[in-house]
Amino acid sequence: MYTLLHGFYKYLTQKDEYCVVILGLDNAGKTTYLEAAKTKFTKNYKGMNPGKITTTVGLNIGTIDVQGVRLNFWDLGGQHELQSLWDKYYQESHAVIYVIDSNDRDRMDESKVIFDKMIKNDLLSGVPLLILANKQDLPDVMGVRDIKPVFQQAGGFIGRRDCLTIPVSALTGCR
């Protein structure tokens, strides 16, 4: 009887689960963004001090429960050596967040090349895409008006999927 009740309880309280990969070059703010999201959406989560966040070697995992849905975030390291591992996570992904350092004009072309390679992968065909123009709290950064046309050049590969580009600051939480 206990097993039956326990199974029924689990069925009633189960949550839909989705996996979201967070990608971008190293130092774009991926981990800071994930920590800010966990702080905002997870009750009693204090979060990591942004000053203590270091370069991700491998991946960071975060889970957020929102309105009966569990979001599992995989924040993948953005160093060149680690980018070859990204596609191992694509098949399980339900969405992609691509983080751009809006303040790093020198690496914008590199970020675009990596973005194009990622978006062309067949395993991500049709997967919703959120592009974050991060570090908008800094002076003289590239705005969405400057960034969007560069990344929209891959429009043929973005296809008919849901895609949104928004300005953010992972540090301040503003948009």
Helix H or strand E segment including 133: strand 129-134
Residue 38 in contact with residue 10, Cβ under 8 Å? no
Distance CA 165, CA 171 (A): 18
Tokens of 39: 């702080």
Is 14 designated active site? no
Annotated binding-site residue numbers: 24-31, 56, 78, 134-137
Q: Give the annotated binding-site residues for Mg(2+).
A: 31, 56
Distances (CA, A) of 41 to 66, 135, 137, 157: 7, 20, 21, 32
The residue type found at 22 is I
Give the sheet arrangement for strand 69-76, strand by strand: 59-66, 69-76, 16-23, 95-101, 129-134, 163-167
User: What sign has the CA pseudo-torsion 99, 101, 107, 112?
Assistant: positive
Closest CA to 32 of 55, 1, 16, 14: 55
- Catalytic site residue from 79, 91, 152, 153: 79
What are the catalytic residues?
A: 79
